[in-house]
């Protein structure tokens, strides 16, 4: 688990330091303040900086990956914790366009290879990245199969009962359509008939299980989730984070989400952190993105006073 985070010369981050992280972290900030970029940086770190991870990030953004993408990584680009115990570092050589990558885990230099060779350790950290949209059902079906094999499907059904207490089964048809069985009803029905919130919940908890022992990133947590159920969702996420040894990073624009997170963070034994990203207004470093981190004492003050943080 990362205790802190330092990102240098990655997309919009010139030099960002987050000195303290928790088990569950909620990132807030205005548009174009780097919330999604922070999630991408953690995903890239979890894959030891592999060039395929860069390609995946570009694809999520609708960008075309090429050698020019690598050239945007300026000299001494860096993602990791602080002090420099776990990190990946890109060194861009302007003369020949080559990008070298150094990967250090637990203070040990694992490899020093060229990005285009794609020679990296296979033992990456596990991670799941949940985008703002619902994934295709065939992808959810694959994730569901893994949960069934591990006999964890009942826990997932319990999570869906946040929306409807009468749900007693979830299954997939041969055409990989998500079906929900509700007690008292003669026939199961498609999850899509039950609203976007049900599909969003399923996606969050399916991919939480897949992130066991690693990192879970959730972009725009509140999408599809009514404010009235968010406390229960956070409560289950905090519990799962401890049970599965997951570190959670989520973003939001919603004040309701911040309130729900704050309440559960104070109740949970696991540490929660509220992280606010914003562009500096001081003339000396005007426009540079910096982070404010709120610990649980400060979160308590936010929850009690209703102070707006976003």
Reported as type and span, the H/E element at residue 46 is helix 35-46
Nearest Cα residue to 202 out of 235, 166, 169: 169
Instruction: Give Cα separations from 119 to 51, 100, 115, 123 (angstroms).
Output: 9, 11, 8, 12
For residue 226, count other CB atoms closer than 10 A to its CB: 11
Q: What is the pTM of this model?
A: 0.83
3-state class (DSSP) for residue 56: helix
Instruction: Give Cα separations from 211 to 118, 224, 300 (angstroms).
Output: 23, 22, 29
5-126+211-305 — its CATH code? Answer: 3.40.50
For residues 115 and 101, the answer to whether their CB atoms sit within 8 Å is yes
Q: Which residue has the tokens 């995903």?
A: 43
Q: Name every residue whose Cβ is closer than 8 Å to that of residue 139 and which is 6 or more positions away in sequence.
A: none
**Distance (Å, whole) CA 205 – CA 184:** 25
Going residue by residue through the chain, which has 310 residues, state the pLDDT in tens, using 9 for 90 and above: 889 999 888 878 888 999 999 999 999 998 888 999 999 889 888 877 766 777 777 777 776 655 555 445 555 666 777 556 677 776 655 555 555 666 676 666 655 444 443 333 344 568 889 988 888 888 888 888 878 787 777 777 888 889 889 998 888 888 888 999 999 898 999 988 888 888 999 899 989 988 989 999 999 999 999 999 999 999 999 999 999 999 999 999 998 999 999 999 999 988 999 999 988 766 566 678 999 898 877 887 776 666 666 5
């Amino acid at each position: 688990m990362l205790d802190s985070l330092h990102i240098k010369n990655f997309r919009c981050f010139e030099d960002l330091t987050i000195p303290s992280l928790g088990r569950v972290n909620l990132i807030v900030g205005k548009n174009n303040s780097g919330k999604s970029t922070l999630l991408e940086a953690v995903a890239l770190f979890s894959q030891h900086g592999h060039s395929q991870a860069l390609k995946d990030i570009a694809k999520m953004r609708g960008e075309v990956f090429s050698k020019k993408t690598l050239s945007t990584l300026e000299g001494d680009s860096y993602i990791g914790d602080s002090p420099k115990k776990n990190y990946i570092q890109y060194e861009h050589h302007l003369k020949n366009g080559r990008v070298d990558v150094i990967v250090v885990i637990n203070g040990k230099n694992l490899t020093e290879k060229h990005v285009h060779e794609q020679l990296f350790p296979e033992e990456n950290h596990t991670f799941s990245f949940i985008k703002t949209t619902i994934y295709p059902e065939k992808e959810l079906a694959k994730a569901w199969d893994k949960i069934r094999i591990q006999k964890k499907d009942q826990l997932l059904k319990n999570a869906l009962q946040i929306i409807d207490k009468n749900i007693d089964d979830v299954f997939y048809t041969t055409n990989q359509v998500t079906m929900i069985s509700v007690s008292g009803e003669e026939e199961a029905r498609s999850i899509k008939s039950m609203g976007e919130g049900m599909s969003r919940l399923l996606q969050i908890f399916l991919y939480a299980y897949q992130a066991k022992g690693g990192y879970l990133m959730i972009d725009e947590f509140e999408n599809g989730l009514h404010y009235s159920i968010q406390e229960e969702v956070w409560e289950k996420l905090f519990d799962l984070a401890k049970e599965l040894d997951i570190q959670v990073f989520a973003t939001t624009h919603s004040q309701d989400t911040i309130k729900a997170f704050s309440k559960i963070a104070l109740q949970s034994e696991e540490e929660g952190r509220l992280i606010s990203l914003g562009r500096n207004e001081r003339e000396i470093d005007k426009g540079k993105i910096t982070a404010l981190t709120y610990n649980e004492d400060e979160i308590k003050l936010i929850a009690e006073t209703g102070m707006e943080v976003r």
